């Protein structure tokens, strides 16, 4: 293990997306294994969690941002100072997916790097009867056109929440010697329900 790997034990993640898509709910499910159904407006909150993984302490800093766009300077500062980005939309809200596209463009502009680590998250898959956004269309755009990671999740039913954070940490280039260990820290990470079947990448492109 190199000195650089030892020092790379701090990671800063930022959650961005329209209001009400479940950014705070995903974070709270991951940190505390709780779910609050009532929406609470967030301005900007930083959560810190320390894990001991393979005898090494990993500090995860998670920035929960406002869903409104009345704080552009604050949002740009969060983008500049973060290692990886979770762009969250709700599968029952097509407008929130359009917000993801705008936020991704802003991230690439601020970071000046088209390879910036980004994970797009389709939340609220528990509301399958209200679904208005096709997963096939989104995965085609996000994974094939944007070359970013894509996960569908439910903070309410605790589906794929752990996978969201594992993907973010992997995207943030934590040392490879940490990655396998994270998957087995069941006493550290909340248990979650069975993951959804892997999706077919076929389909049209919703975002252009």
How does pLDDT run across 53-84, given as a tens digit for each residue?
A: 667 777 899 999 876 656 677 788 889 989 99
What is the homologous superfamily of the domain 3-183 according to CATH? Answer: P-loop containing nucleotide triphosphate hydrolases (3.40.50.300)
Summarize pLDDT for 140-175 with one digit per residue, the tens. 999 999 999 999 999 999 999 999 998 998 888 765
CA dist., res. 9 & res. 174, Å (int): 7
State whether residue 71 is helix, strand or coil: coil
CA 63 to each of CA 42, 118, 129, 139, 202: distance values in angstroms, whole numbers, following the listed order: 11, 14, 31, 25, 33
Summarize pLDDT for 162-208 with one digit per residue, the tens. 999 989 988 887 654 455 445 444 334 444 444 444 444 444 334 43
Angle at 82 between CA 78 and CA 87, to 5 degrees: 80
- In angstroms, the first-to-last Cα distance of the chain is 42
pTM score? 0.78
CA 172 to each of CA 128, 156, 191: distance values in angstroms, whole numbers, following the listed order: 31, 26, 23
Rounded mean pLDDT of 89-112? 96
CA dist., res. 65 & res. 46, Å (int): 9
């Amino acid at each position: 293990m190199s000195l650089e790997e030892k020092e790379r034990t701090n990671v800063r993640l930022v959650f961005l997306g329209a209001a009400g898509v479940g950014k705070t709910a995903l974070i709270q499910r991951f940190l505390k294994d709780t779910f609050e159904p009532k929406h609470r407006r967030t301005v900007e909150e930083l959560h810190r969690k320390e894990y001991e993984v393979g005898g090494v302490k990993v500090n995860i800093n998670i920035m929960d941002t406002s869903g409104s766009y009345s704080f552009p300077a604050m949002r740009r500062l969060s983008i500049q100072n973060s290692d990886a980005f979770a762009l969250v939309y709700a599968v029952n809200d097509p407008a929130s997916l359009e917000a993801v596209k705008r936020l991704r463009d802003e991230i690439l502009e601020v970071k000046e790097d088209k390879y910036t680590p980004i994970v797009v998250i389709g939340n609220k898959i528990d509301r399958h009867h209200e679904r208005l956004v096709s997963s096939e269309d989104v995965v085609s755009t996000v994974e094939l056109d944007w070359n970013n990671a894509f996960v569908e999740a439910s903070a309410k039913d605790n589906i794929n929440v752990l996978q969201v954070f594992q993907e973010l940490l992997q995207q943030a280039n934590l040392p490879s010697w940490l990655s396998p260990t994270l998957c087995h820290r069941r006493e550290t990470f909340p248990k979650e329900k069975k993951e959804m079947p892997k999706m077919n990448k076929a389909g049209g492109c919703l975002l252009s």
